[in-house]
């Protein structure tokens, strides 16, 4: 299906079902409310077919270009119908699971995730393996019919809602770095998994610290090769920076539009506001232009890689500039004001501070650009 | 765009243009060499893509060829020629008592004009200068003798490029109306797009020089490229350049005035940020007249200052957004 026809059909359907798809809560809602609404929106899109395009038939999709998935998330975010964060998990994890997991495992487990009936999470970071991911130490030891996993993970988003977790484990010697890592698809209700949520600075339980105590994972849940987990992780990262970034770019576009409408309504045409708005818009357009190129490269089947660090740096700058501009141009709203409207600006302002940390810090991204794209040789 | 140039052909054209530019340091000779290579036909057949190819080469080679005159002349709907140049960023002040704006013949009235704007080094060898004035009901274009705008010494920071500011009073009969089919807005859009390709081409050259220096220069027993502070400066330069190149390509696919202004602004930001970072990486060497950085820095400053600088364009664009109260999507899948 060509993207233009798809978008036309999708937007007509979204308009016709606007009432039913609009969040029932005021403001940002609680996390439980958000997750319930996310499931509802996903299910509705799936039943209408739109949520199945861009995914292969092997996981109950309807085929077609990944551009179609970019379009669905874009339109949802432009309308503010659903919080984008739970949505990212599918886009980040599923393409890699389809490519690297056993066909029958993907065929059985992916469809409920696409339908919004289930949630997945991602167990990569550890207390001592953040930016230095290859030093992770959560062990998976061979046992009859599978592995026993023991160790600790951190920053695991949505585990309290999740049924599965894509987990990176140490299967080689402790110092085997990226060579001795294995990826497993773990059921979150397996005995031996316990977690405690971590509260963020914007007052949410976005993620958790997770303990694995001799958690049994059957052989068929291997993703990729044994000791081939680094390749799986490296395959995931570009997905994190393609479709989901396009979606987030749409959200930023909507929030910039909100800011412009609010200033415009108050008759603000000052140089200060014009300059700040123009600069944010420039950064956002730069990101969206770059990200558009990336969507097309993905759609043509090109392998995405470290060059997506540029997309990451561009969206981070755009997001942080946008919410700094909110604080500058709507004085006191972030700091003092009450009500849902101010609360959402405040939440977005605080959340934007994480943009230069999650998914590889701003500094790590620059290291990658320097080493891999500019070929500057090793760092001292 | 009437004729699409395949990437392979675009690459060949870019190389032959670049070679001609390097062979002819004198701007007049470079213009002639590029005309001989078919620049005018390229501009006629594929104005936007042709400009992207030629201006990318200008930026990369540091050539002072005056092709921007042709881009503006063509966009105004007047035949290009190496002996026709334009008044850039033109303002032509008429006596307040003069006839209504909107009528090109207003230029013919009996009052002395003040011609105020920038001209390239082409004015030295051109016969005709075109002056375009944005008026309420269209664009008035007039021609005058280039000799009237010639000044003995070019001024400004980039003598090779030799843009100069002119502000002269001219007699009424010095200007004649020109029948031009193009308009002011198209000319500004075309100029901004062309300049954005020259700026990103120049930024690439600067980054390549700085990168090589960082790898070759050893201090404390290791290449300065191994220090994170240097690496991050170079990385940030690349990010801006790639963003600007992407936006430049987006403009080519679907040109419009707002995209062109954004592309020009981002390219200026990329070029001047890269020049600043390169200055630190090149350190003392980069401050000498011996290293070519200063030539590119000065060129980038001039290009950024033409048709709206990277710092001033966002304010214009932002004000448009505030006036309309909405933000256009601009980039579509």
The shortest CB-CB distance from B315 to any of A3, A70, A278 is to A278
Give the pLDDT of residue A380.
86
- Same domain for B228 and B286, yes or no, is yes
Final residue in a domain of this structure, among B122, B149, B180:
B180
Residue A66 lies in a domain: yes
Our answer to whether residue A104 is catalytic in this structure is no
CATH number at residue A304: 1.20.140.10
What are the tens digits of pLDDT across the range A94-126? 999 999 999 999 999 999 999 999 999 999 999
Residue among B97, B94, B76, B98 at smallest CA distance from B85: B76
Same domain, B222 and B169: no
Q: Out of A240, A307, A319, A363, pick the active-site residue.
A: A240
A27 domain-assigned:
yes
Q: Looking at the domain assignment, is residue B331 inside a domain?
A: no
> Do residues A74 and A42 both lie within one domain?
yes
SS3 state at B115: strand
Nearest CA in chain B to A3: B333
Instruction: Return all residues near A248 (Cβ < 8 A) that are at least 6 apart.
Output: A77, A84, A88, A315, A319
Q: Do both B8 and B94 map to the same domain?
A: no
Q: Which residue of A has its CA nearest to B232?
A: A366
For the residues B87-95, what does the mean pLDDT come to?
A: 64
Report the pLDDT value the prediction gives residue B100, as an integer from 0 to 100: 44
Query: Are residues A247 and A346 located together in one domain of the fold?
Result: yes
- A263 to chain B: closest CA residue: B322
CB-based contact B234:B214 (threshold 8 Å): yes
| Whether B89 and B116 share a structural domain | yes
Of B180, B195, B220, the position where a domain reaches its end is B180
Model confidence pLDDT, tens digit, residues B280-303: 999 999 999 999 999 999 999 999
pLDDT digits (tens, 9 = 90+) for B14-68: 999 999 999 999 999 999 999 999 999 999 999 999 999 999 999 999 999 999 9
Residue reference for tokens 């600075």:
A201
Classify the complex by whether its ipTM is higher than 0.90, answering yes or no.
yes
Q: Is B174 exposed, middle or buried (0-12, 13-18, 19+ CB in 10 A)?
A: middle
pLDDT single digits (tens) A195-215: 999 999 999 998 999 999 999
Q: What is the end-to-end Cα distance of chain B in Å, rounded? A: 20
pLDDT at A307: 97
Instruction: Let me know if residue B255 belongs to a domain.
Output: yes
Residues B201 and B162 in one domain: no
On whether any CB of chain B is under 8 Å from the CB of A131, the answer is: no
Which DSSP category does A304 fall into?
P
Residues A282 and A219 grouped into a single domain: no
B302 touches B161 (CB < 8 A): yes
Examine residue A378 and state whether it is found in any structural domain, yes or no.
no
To the nearest whole number, what is the mean pLDDT of chain B? Answer: 90
Q: List the domain range (segments joined by +) for residue B302.
A: 184-324
Residue of chain B nearest A310, judged by CA positions = B239
A294 touches chain B (CB under 8 A): no
In a domain, residue B218? The reply is yes
Residues B196 and B314 in one domain: yes
* Nearest in space to A94 (alpha carbons), one of A71, A78, A125, A116: A116
Instruction: Tell me if chain A has a CB within 8 Å of the CB of B232.
Output: yes
pLDDT above 90 (res B159): no
Strand ranges, E, within B57-199: 84-86, 88-93, 113-119, 128-135, 138-145, 164-170, 175-177
Q: Kindly give the pairing relationship between strand B138-145 and strand B128-135.
A: antiparallel
Are A260 and B325 inside 8 Å of each other by CB?
yes
pLDDT higher than 50, residue B82:
yes
Residues A114 and A126 in one domain: no
* Three-state SS sequence of A308-374: HHHHHHHHHHHHHHHHHHHHHHCCCCCCCCCHHHHHHHHHHHHHHHHHHCCCCCHHHHHHHHHHHHC
Residue where one domain finishes, among candidates A102, A118, A134:
A118
A314 in B contact zone (CB under 8 Å): yes
B222 and B269 assigned to the same domain = yes
Nearest to B269 by CA among B221, B306, B301, B234: B301
Average pLDDT over residues B117-128: 92
Spatial neighbors of B124 by CB under 8 A, at least 6 apart, are B28, B150, B162
pLDDT in tens, A21-40: 999 998 888 999 999 999 99
In a domain, A20, yes or no: yes
Element (H, E) at B42: helix B39-45
Å between B102 CA and nearest CA of chain A: 28
Residue B175 lies in a domain: yes
Same domain for A368 and A245: yes
Residue B326 has its nearest CB partner, among A257, A279, A290, at A257
In the Cβ-directed half-sphere of A151, how many Cα atoms lie within 13 Å? 24
| The last residue of a domain, from among B127, B159, B180 | B180
User: How many structural domains are present in chain A?
Assistant: 3
Flag whether A67 is in a domain.
yes
Q: In this structure, is residue B329 part of a structural domain?
A: no
Question: Is B333 a member of any domain?
Answer: no
Task: Single out the residue in A68, A96, A118 at which a domain terminates.
Answer: A118
B207 in a structural domain: yes
**Mutate which: A285, A293, A361, A367, vs B, most B CBs within 10 A:** A285
Domain-located, residue A236: no
When divided into structural domains, chain B yields a total of: 3
Indicate if A98 and A58 belong to the same structural domain. Answer: yes
Confidence at residue B165, expressed as pLDDT on a 0 to 100 scale: 82
Does residue B192 share a domain with residue B68?
no
B279 and B191 fall within a common domain: yes
Domain membership flag for residue A341: yes
CA distance B205 to A247: 34
Same domain, A69 and A132: no
- Show which of A228, A255, A270 is a domain's final residue: A228
CATH number, domain containing residue A58: 1.10.540.10
pLDDT exceeds cutoff 60 at B1:
no
Does residue A255 belong to any structural domain of this protein?
yes
Q: With 80 as the cut, is the pLDDT of residue A348 above it? A: yes
For residues B101 and B116, membership in a common domain is answered with yes
The predicted pLDDT at position B101 comes to 46
What CATH number did the domain enclosing B119 receive?
2.40.110
How confident is residue B99, by pLDDT bands cut at 50, 70 and 90?
A: very low
- Whether residues A92 and A137 share a domain: the answer is no
Cβ–Cβ under 8 Å, residues A121 and A195? no
pLDDT at B150: 84
* A252 and A359 together in one domain: yes
Could you tell me if B127 and B165 lie in one domain? yes
Domain encompassing residue A147:
121-228
Q: Tell me the mean pLDDT in the region A264-282.
A: 97
Q: Is A286 in the same domain as A222?
A: no
A319-322: long-range pairs with CB below 8 Å, 24+: A319/A248, A319/A252, A319/A352, A319/A355, A320/A352, A320/A353, A320/A355, A320/A356, A321/A279, A321/A280, A321/A283, A322/A252, A322/A255, A322/A256, A322/A259, A322/A280, A322/A283, A322/A284, A322/A352
Cβ distance of B228 and A379 shorter than 8 Å: yes
Backbone angles phi, psi at B145, to 5 degrees: -70, 125
Query: Is A291's pLDDT higher than 50?
Result: yes
Contact A286 B246 (CB under 8 A): yes
Instruction: Indicate if the pLDDT at residue B110 is higher than 70.
Output: no
CATH of the domain at B213: 1.20.140.10
Q: How confident is the model at residue B2 (pLDDT cuts 50, 70, 90)?
A: low
The pLDDT of residue B173 is 81
Residue B231 counted as domain residue: yes
What's the DSSP call for residue A129?
B
């Amino acid at each position: 299906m060509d993207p233009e026809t798809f978008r036309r059909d999708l937007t007509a359907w979204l308009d016709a079902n606007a009432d039913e798809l609009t969040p029932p809560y005021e403001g940002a809602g609680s996390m439980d409310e958000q997750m319930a609404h996310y499931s509802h929106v996903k299910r509705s899109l799936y039943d209408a077919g739109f949520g199945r395009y861009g995914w292969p038939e092997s996981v109950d999709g309807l085929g077609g270009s990944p551009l179609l998935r970019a379009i669905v998330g874009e339109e949802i975010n432009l309308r503010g119908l659903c919080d984008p964060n739970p949505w990212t998990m599918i886009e980040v994890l599923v393409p890699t699971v389809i490519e690297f997991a056993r066909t029958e495992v993907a065929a059985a487990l992916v469809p409920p995730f696409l339908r919004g009936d289930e949630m997945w999470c991602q167990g990569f970071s550890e207390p001592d393996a953040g930016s230095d991911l290859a030093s992770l130490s959560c062990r998976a030891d061979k046992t009859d019919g599978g592995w026993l996993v023991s160790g600790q993970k951190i920053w695991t988003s949505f585990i309290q809602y999740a049924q599965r977790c894509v987990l990176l484990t140490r299967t080689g010697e402790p110092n085997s770095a990226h060579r001795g890592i294995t990826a497993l698809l773990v059921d979150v209700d397996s005995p031996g998994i316990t977690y405690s949520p971590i509260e963020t600075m914007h007052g949410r339980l976005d993620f958790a610290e997770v303990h694995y105590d001799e958690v049994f994972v059957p052989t068929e849940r291997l993703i990729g090769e044994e000791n081939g987990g680094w390749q799986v992780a490296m395959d995931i990262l570009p997905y994190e920076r393609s479709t989901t970034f396009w979606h987030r770019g749409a959200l930023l576009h909507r929030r910039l539009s909100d800011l412009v409408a609010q200033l415009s309504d108050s008759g603000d045409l000052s140089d200060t506001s014009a300059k700040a708005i123009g600069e944010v818009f420039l950064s956002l357009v730069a990101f969206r232009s770059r990200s558009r190129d990336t969507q097309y490269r993905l759609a043509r089947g090109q392998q995405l890689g470290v060059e997506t660090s540029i997309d990451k740096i561009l969206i981070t700058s755009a997001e942080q500039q946008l919410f700094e501009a909110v604080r500058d141009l709507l004085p006191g709203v972030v700091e003092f004001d009450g009500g849902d409207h101010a609360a959402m600006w405040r939440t977005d302002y605080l959340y934007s501070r994480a943009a230069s940390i999650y998914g590889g810090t701003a500094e790590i991204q620059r290291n990658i650009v320097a080493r891999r794209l500019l070929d500057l040789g090793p760092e001292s | 765009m009437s004729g699409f140039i395949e990437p392979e052909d675009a690459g060949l054209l870019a190389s032959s243009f670049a070679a001609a530019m390097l062979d002819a340091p004198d701007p007049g000779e470079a213009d002639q060499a590029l005309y001989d290579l078919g620049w005018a036909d390229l501009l006629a057949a594929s104005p936007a893509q042709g400009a992207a190819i030629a201006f990318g080469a200008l930026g990369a080679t540091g050539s002072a060829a005056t092709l921007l005159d042709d881009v503006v002349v063509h966009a105004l709907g007047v035949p290009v020629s190496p002996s026709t140049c334009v008044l850039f960023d033109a303002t032509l002040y008429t006596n307040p008592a003069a006839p209504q704006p909107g009528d090109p013949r207003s230029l013919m009235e009996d009052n002395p004009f003040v011609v105020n704007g920038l001209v390239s080094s082409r004015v030295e060898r051109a016969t005709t200068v075109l002056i375009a004035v944005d008026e309420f009901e269209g664009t008035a274009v007039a021609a005058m003798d280039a000799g009237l705008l010639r000044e003995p010494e070019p001024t400004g920071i980039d003598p090779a490029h030799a843009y100069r500011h002119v502000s002269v009073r001219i007699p009424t009969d010095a200007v004649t109306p020109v029948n031009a089919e193009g308009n002011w807005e198209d000319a500004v859009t075309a100029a901004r797009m062309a300049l954005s390709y020259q700026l990103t081409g120049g930024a690439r050259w600067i980054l390549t020089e700085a990168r090589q220096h960082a790898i070759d220069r050893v201090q404390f027993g290791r290449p300065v490229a191994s220090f994170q502070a240097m690496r991050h400066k170079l990385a940030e330069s690349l990010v801006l350049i790639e963003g600007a190149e992407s936006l430049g390509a987006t403009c080519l696919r679907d040109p419009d005035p707002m995209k062109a202004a954004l592309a020009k602004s981002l390219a200026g930001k990329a070029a001047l940020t890269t020049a600043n970072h390169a200055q630190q990486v090149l350190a003392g060497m980069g401050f000498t007249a011996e290293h070519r950085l200063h030539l590119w820095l000065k060129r980038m400053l001039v290009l950024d200052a033409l048709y709206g600088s990277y710092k001033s364009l966002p304010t214009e664009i932002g004000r448009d957004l505030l006036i309309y109260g909405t933000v256009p999507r601009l980039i579509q899948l």
